[in-house]
Structure 1
């Protein structure tokens, strides 16, 4: 069964790591999670919203837990860091993302458990790509054949959000100085063709570096398409990381929740790929699928192309002000541990909307390989309200 520790804050699922009231007009974004060699958990988020500094000196907050997620304390406030993945590598902790909303590509390192961080000042100290507008999300940094791989986008195409994203991949030798820009290979960039998906393709973003069953690196991306949503895209990568290619005839797949950010990881024990996504359940069908984030599903696939929902881990019947989104997660034995950008609450404690989250929450989903739909959250079990169309009762 699922483990969902009830937080002190009223009925918020999981363990509350941080809370920023919606009235502040500063919202919680880009959750990330990592585990240090000593067993400590690290979680992070950044700040966005009209009263944040996301377009100037963007802020990322870093938290630690020494009791397997039961309690958390703030370890650092990192300026000029945004949309970052957090990951442990060779005994150190890294944040890799952008310097601000559509800023430079930067990476920072901590050798004291996330309490202090290097400054990204130049091409030798963590500024990996400058002079443009870049975008990403807390997606996996994958070790494969002696290299670390991380998907990115620039935001320098025409047409505004979604349409302006150009997807690319970055990689570096795993034993290199990751703060030195010369050690990183950057692929070509692939932009949007509006004719794809029968002229419904709005753009792609927030890609995952994933190793395929036959040992190749691909980039699997969130896809903006309306009104249905539920698609992802697979970009092929060359072995040296320099060349990205996409075939629109074969590159789009059905992927429940594909209109929102997701993280894919491979489990050697089950030999399955797993993800946590935000599918749209029948009761909540909406012409804007990217904003329906009130259900968090555990999904799996043998081949990265055919995905099935195994369990609805979290659910709330209200779409407008509730969301479990941008979830970053890791395997821990038989469990999944996760950090969620959570919009929740009622009355004065309510979120501004489902997108503008007011909580960073920690979750442990026990025995995830054995979960079935009957283990789903209340309201989302087979036959319950979430699976009924809104007009089922006339």
Structure 2
């Protein structure tokens, strides 16, 4: 940037100070917002995917991600013992992608997909660690974490505890490649069961998305297991829909075996819902919370709003049907290049912590596009309940 005088220097300095305090990231900064956990240089075309994070009982943070692009979809695990200020890579898991970190007390799990081919859709697997993520079980058979063979799809989505069971949503693609005709399903297992034993898992029926349900909406995916205020389990899915405000709420029976969906009544409005989101319930505020890639008015162009990922907002709901924006957390210019996406997060007392698949300039240049993230970054929202509603 070329300076013309002292007055311009002062103005730019003030803008930088204001921008950082307001959540505005400066796209000409060489470092992205937050704490960098990992940088895959943009020039390598090895893109960071599937961020996930969990807090262990002693306060240790564990984070993970996989790769796409020029690198195979293995999963990498990181640990932080100082509340996210510094991170160490501690493990690499071959043939695992789109995985959720989840803990049952001291037991740590990754629940994801083992690609049937080099990359792509594949088997539903669970892997377990008893040393905070340094070593992991291998899903060799149905007793060691190979839960079901097929062409499944998922993302780092919530594992919810409800009425003595763990619940987690996923999708079935039915073939090794392609995008669009995902079938939604719910999986569940007793909280006391061996999570590596396939026989202990319950699978619901599958509901394949029908493009005739909603004009312009072409697919659903990356569903969230959520418990409603009435104690019912729902699968709330991202919907590929250009206005970028539509999600689907699929009902799940109490035994976890039956899912139902009425396209006349079960679509809900959720800003930014054409991109992946995570919903969690907070007992203290008695609200549901999510972080979303809402598209600011200045960035709406009538093009594919599902591809605009340069803003993250914090939202809440009392009933899962009406959502309000609480605050804008991150935003920057050049939505064609930069993005904070696929955010996974956890409550940490009065704060929210989250990890982001971040596309940002690095020392080798810009990423090819906002989708092709070259960073895994860590962020904290201080005292999130006290933030003023926008």
Query: Do the two structures share a fold, i.e. TM-score over 0.5?
Result: yes
1:252 maps to 2:285: no
Please identify runs of 4+ aligned residues in structure 1 that moved more than 6 A: 1-6
1:151 maps to 2:166: no
Asked if the contact 1:212/1:303 (under 8 Å) is kept, the reply is yes
Deviation at 1:3, TM superposition (A): 9.1
Structure 1 gaps of 5+ residues are 375-394
Asked if the contact 2:25/2:331 (under 8 Å) is kept, the reply is no
Within 2, Cα distance between the matches of 1:180 and 1:192?
A: 30
Deviation at 1:160, TM superposition (A): 4.0
Matches within 5 A, 1:7-26: 10-26=30-46
Structure 2 gaps of 5+ residues are 1-20
Q: Secondary structure at the match of 1:256?
A: coil
Within 1, Cα distance between the matches of 2:162 and 2:239?
A: 25
Residues 87-134 of structure 1: per-residue CA shift (max 9 Å, x gap): 11132100001013201000000000000000011111001110x211
Deviation at 1:338, TM superposition (A): 0.4
Which among 284, 297, 301 is matched to residue 269 of structure 1?
284
Asked if the contact 1:110/1:116 (under 8 Å) is kept, the reply is yes
Tell me the matched-pair count: 363
Which among 41, 64, 67 is matched to residue 82 of structure 2?
67
Which among 304, 308, 311 is matched to residue 324 of structure 2?
308
Task: State which drifts further: 363-372 or 341-350.
Answer: 341-350
TM (norm. structure 2) is: 0.90
Residues 203-232 of structure 1: per-residue CA shift (max 9 Å, x gap): 100000000000010000000123x12100
Asked if the contact 1:154/1:167 (under 8 Å) is kept, the reply is yes
Deviation at 1:343, TM superposition (A): 0.5
Deviation at 1:296, TM superposition (A): 0.1
CA distance 1:160–1:154, change in 2 (3 Å): same
TM (norm. structure 1) is: 0.89
1:87 maps to 2:102: yes
Which among 343, 366, 373 is matched to residue 327 of structure 1?
343
Within 2, Cα distance between the matches of 1:319 and 1:75?
A: 33
> Partner of 2:146 in structure 1?
127
Matches within 5 A, 1:1-394: 10-49=30-69, 51-53=70-72, 58-100=73-115, 101-130=120-149, 132-156=150-174, 160-162=178-180, 164-197=181-214, 199-226=215-242, 228-285=243-300, 286-345=302-361, 348-372=364-388
Deviation at 1:331, TM superposition (A): 0.5
Residues 121-148 of structure 1: per-residue CA shift (max 9 Å, x gap): 1111001110x21100000001100000
Asked if the contact 1:63/1:74 (under 8 Å) is kept, the reply is yes
Q: What RMSD over aligned residues (CA atoms) do the two structures have, in Å? A: 1.9
